[in-house]
Structures are given as structure tokens and as C-alpha cells.
């Protein structure tokens, strides 16, 4: 595991961001942490696009929160299930509706799916299925916010921004249903 730190811009309340690599069955993931919690978790190909709330990289000592996440990721890829609920999230930049959508998405049980429309209903606005889709597309905390469990009205797979796209989404759903 590699750890790095990055100074944050003025729009963030944390003093430093910490990044850590996590090896998974689908490739390397990188988590970014602030004082508030997990800011992002993406496959490495995705971390260059604003997932670092600060800037440059500097080595730092191990962060126990990242170690806890690493343990949960190993458990997830070994069994298809892991308890990510104890992972605190940095919700800065999220609207109240997006925050509610993500809370409801985190409540979707592993091995099950819900439609964008159903997730909108659970979040308090049954007419906001497109807004839910947009929130899922902007999800910067993959797996912890399990956007792969959200499907189209007919139950089909639609959109997944992680490397591998829909194949990765299907892999995760299959892993959870074993």
C-alpha cells in the first residue's frame, strides 16, 4: 500500500488529504481521505479527474481508516459482502438530495438491485429518477456507495463509469449473488 498526502483547497475544511492504494480482484483502487472521512474510492484509472481534493502527493504514515477500508475491500472481494456502513464519508460538495440518495443507496442490500425510480422514491422524490441517475454517475465512493446495485426500469444494466463499464457492474452483481 502506498500513502500520499495532498494540501487541500480553501473549499475543504480538512487540513490534508491522504491517498492509499488498495489491491482488488478488479485492479488497484485508490482511496482519498480528509479529516471528515472518505472523500473518494475509485479504480486507479479514475483518480486523476478531481478525486484528489488537494493537489500534489507527499508520503505520510499509515491511516487506520484506510486500513479498515482495505480490510473491508478484501472481505468484499472474497465473499461478495462487507460492512461498509462504519466508513465515514466526506460529503462536502453534495447537495441535500444527493446526500439522501447516497444514504438510501447504501441501504440496498448486497445481492439485490433497485431501479432508479425506486431509489428516487426512497429518497423522497419519486419523480426524480433522472436526478438519481445523475447522482449515481457522479458517485466518487465506489462500492461504499453501491451504485452498481441501481438498474434501469426493466431491470437491465445501464451506465457504470468504472473501468470495464457494464462488464464490471455485472461482475460485482454476480459476486454479490454467489
Catalytic sites, residue numbers: 147
What percent of the residues of the chain are helix, what percent strand, and what percent coil, each to the nearest 5?
35, 20, 45
Residue of 124, 125, 131, 178 lying closest to 150 (CA atoms): 131
Detail the DSSP E strand segments found in the chain: 3-7, 16-24, 27-34, 37-43, 114-115, 150-151
Residue of 160, 151, 109 lying closest to 129 (CA atoms): 151
**How far, CA to CA in Å, does 19 sit from each of 33, 41, 78, 168?**
6, 9, 23, 23
Amino acid at each position: 500500500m502506498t500513502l500520499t498526502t495532498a494540501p487541500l483547497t480553501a473549499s475543504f475544511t480538512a487540513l490534508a488529504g491522504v491517498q492509499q492504494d488498495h489491491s482488488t480482484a478488479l485492479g488497484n483502487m485508490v482511496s482519498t481521505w480528509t479529516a471528515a472521512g472518505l472523500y473518494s474510492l475509485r479504480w486507479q484509472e479514475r483518480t486523476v479527474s478531481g478525486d484528489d481534493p488537494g493537489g500534489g502527493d507527499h508520503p505520510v504514515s499509515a491511516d487506520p481508516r484506510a486500513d479498515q477500508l482495505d480490510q473491508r475491500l478484501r472481505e468484499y472481494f472474497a465473499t461478495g459482502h462487507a460492512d461498509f456502513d462504519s466508513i465515514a464519508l466526506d460529503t462536502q460538495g453534495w447537495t441535500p438530495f444527493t446526500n439522501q440518495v447516497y444514504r438510501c443507496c447504501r441501504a440496498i442490500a448486497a445481492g439485490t438491485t433497485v431501479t432508479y425510480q425506486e431509489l428516487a422514491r426512497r429518497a423522497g422524490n419519486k419523480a426524480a429518477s433522472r436526478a438519481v441517475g445523475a447522482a449515481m454517475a457522479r458517485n466518487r465512493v465506489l462500492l461504499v456507495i453501491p451504485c452498481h446495485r441501481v438498474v434501469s426500469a426493466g431491470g437491465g444494466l445501464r451506465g457504470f463509469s468504472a473501468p470495464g463499464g457494464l462488464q464490471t457492474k455485472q461482475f460485482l452483481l454476480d459476486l454479490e449473488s454467489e
